[in-house]
Structure 1
Amino acid sequence: MVIHTQKETLVQALSSGAKNDKIGFVPTMGALHKGHISLVKNALENNDVVVVSIFVNPTQFNNSADLEKYPRTPEDDISLLKKLKGDVIVYLPEVSDLYDASVSAKKYNFGNLENEMEGKHRKGHFDGVGTIVSKLLKIVKPNTAYFGEKDFQQLQIVKKLVAIEMLPVKIVGCPILREKNGLAMSSRNKRLTAKQFEEAALIYKTLQEVREKFSSTSLAGLNTLVTERFLQNPNLNLEYFEIANEKTLKTAKRKNKASKYRAFIAAFAGDVRLIDNMPLN
């Protein structure tokens, strides 16, 4: 495994590889867990070389305290990646290697995708995501890039970004990996206390209940159910619950048998923000 901290040396290393090598790419913000590793393993199975970037991107945080507290464990991350079998290249840059002095995000028009759920609650977040993903894809020039479905809205945004910028890369969404209690694996989980970790299982349990009752309960009834479940646990603060069309991400007003729907939840355990989602039909 080779580690690059500058894009110039990374580009040089990739360009010196075999001409027909397939390059897979897994962009991360570090604090790696089994979910990240599953993405890398998927990439290794389907490519000759895999690049894993570790970079906490400042332009996608609309809360400076959240950026400051985001877990950073580069040594542990490297140790995890070293255990994998295959040709893995790590890109571990400083902010100055990817941004100029302004450290600002490009403005994008992702259509309605950017105005739902996360977009409503994290203004400018997806401009930051689009900016850094675009920069990284243009540096790595992968054949395929892998993203987890826990950030399902982000996955749809990235697909839209690739279409807007006509980038020659296939975007692959990979299934959510969960802890034993059902909590979606996330770097932010490292900030939870043991009690918060167990209580946060309510998010998954609630999504399961919504899925079980989706065909027999009205959308209004499902919204009431979720609100009641979180009121019963005052240590978890529900930020939003949405049932949305998988393709457009627009909030469902009524059920249409021809459409696929997904339930989305964002909630706080203390000051730790957790998100999750689940297909419903």
Structure 2
Amino acid sequence: MRTVREISELRQILTESRERGQIIGLVPTMGNLHDGHLALVGAARDRADIVVATIFINPMQFGPGEDLDTYPRTFEADREALETAGCDLVFAPSAESLYPRGLASHTKVVVRGVSEGLCGASRPGHFDGVATVVSMLFNLVQPDLACFGEKDYQQLTVIRRLVTDLHMPIDIVGVPTVRATDGLALSSRNGYLNEPERRQAPFLYHTLVEARTALEAGADMTATLDTARQQLAEAGFKAEYLELRQADNLEPVQSGTTHGVLLAAAHLGPARLIDNLAVRLPGDQGD
């Protein structure tokens, strides 16, 4: 496995791969890897001849007061894990190489609609940063496919809309959420939890499972969501949102909607946890 930090070297290597007719798969990450990230590498490995993973903690997607400075940096361990998982090339650029004129002067990519609300409401500018850095990586790597986790469902939806709107010839592969045995969705930020909080954290997932069961059985949407929010509050979570949306575009469900997604974000101690579950609705939810 090769490690590359310079854009010129990355382009040279991948130009040679394309000339050989090889399919290129991309897995963008911010490092501090866990089994969820490695599942993305596995999904790319199954579909591509060359798997490129990126490790870049993107400053543009962190807002004021967020954990940019304290976000875990574990490059050597990440590199070893990627090599074991079957990655062929790691691209680990500096912020200066991607943003040579600084963040304030850099062109931004804004994906309207799906980036608004939910996480976009509590983290203004976050998805602009995600869309911008992903657009740059797509331009630099020019992959045939790119793998993203379904745990970050709104992010996945933003990226799919980005690729569609800008007519990028890239297949976006959504990879199912990887969970611990107790149901907690794996996340780099789970490391912020202390032991009691870690034992409590799976309650978010189990609350969503209970709500999904009720909704699929035809329970009233408003009452079900209110109950779920109350359960989280009583368990010590500070919920930012718990919503039911249309699965394809994240708009509010309407009468006749059958494919929904339950999405939640909640703080537990210092950690901000997000999770989601697909919901098969009877078709009579919404207004």
TM-score (normalizing by structure 1): 0.94
In the TM superposition, what are the counterparts of 1:19-34 in structure 2 within 5 Å?
19-34=20-35
Per-residue Cα deviation, 1:136-169 (whole angstroms, up to 9, x for no partner): 0000000000000011111111111112322221
* Structure 1 position 15, deviation (Å): 1.2
Q: Which residue of 1 aligns with 2:90?
A: 90
Partners of 2:159 and 2:249 lie apart in 1 by: 14
Q: Is the contact made by 2:110 and 2:131 (CA closer than 8 Å) also made in structure 1?
A: no
Q: What is the CA distance between 1:64 and its match in structure 2?
A: 3.9
C-alpha distance in structure 1 between counterparts of 2:107 and 2:211, whole Å? 37
Structure 2 gap ranges (5+): 281-287
Q: Give the stretch that moved more between structures: 236-245 or 130-139.
A: 236-245
TM-score (norm 2): 0.92
Q: Corresponding residue for 1:230? A: 232
The aligned counterpart of 1:4 is: 4
Identity of aligned residues (%): 35
Residue type at the aligned position of 2:129: G
Kindly state the Cα deviation for residue 75 of structure 1 after the two structures are TM-superposed.
Answer: 1.1
Q: Give the CA RMSD over aligned residues.
A: 1.5
Q: Are 2:71 and 1:70 aligned?
A: yes
Residues 227-267 of structure 1, C-alpha deviation per residue, up to 9 Å, x if partnerless? 22112212x21111111111221233x5x344311101101
Distance verdict in 2 for CA 1:108–1:95, change over 3 Å:
closer
Distance (Å, rounded) in 1 between the aligned partners of 2:194 and 2:221: 33
Paired amino acid for 2:10: L
Secondary structure, counterpart of 1:150 in structure 2: coil
Distance 2:22 2:96 in 1: 29
Does structure 2 conserve the Cα–Cα contact (< 8 Å) formed by 1:142 and 1:169? yes
Tell me the CA shift for residue 109 of structure 1: 4.5
Does 2:50 match 1:46? no
Matches within 5 A, 1:8-19: 8-17=8-17, 18-19=19-20
How far apart, CA to CA, are the structure 2 residues paired with 1:265 and 1:247? 17
C-alpha change, 1:4 and 1:274, in structure 2 (3 Å) is: same
Structure 1 residues 219 and 168, CA gap change in structure 2 (3 angstroms): same
Task: Please say if residues 22 and 49 of structure 2, whose CA atoms lie closer than 8 Å, have aligned partners that are also in contact.
Answer: yes
- Aligned partners of 1:24 and 1:142 also within 8 Å: yes
Aligned residues between the structures: 277
1: distance between equivalents of 2:68 and 2:98? 17
Give the unaligned 5+ runs of structure 1.
none
Q: 1:111: Cα distance to partner?
A: 3.0
Worse-superposed segment, 89-98 or 160-169: 160-169
Deviation, 1:108, is: 4.0
Q: State the partner residue of 2:276.
A: 277
Q: Rate the CA distance shift 1:53–1:98 in 2: closer, same or farther, 3 A.
A: same
What is aligned with 2:103?
103
Secondary structure of the corresponding residue to residue 25 of structure 1: strand
Is the Cα contact below 8 Å between 1:266 and 1:276 reproduced in 2? Answer: yes
CA–CA distance in 1 between the matches of 2:243 and 2:29? Answer: 26
- Comparing 243-252 and 179-188, the one that deviates more: 243-252
1:182 counterpart residue number: 183
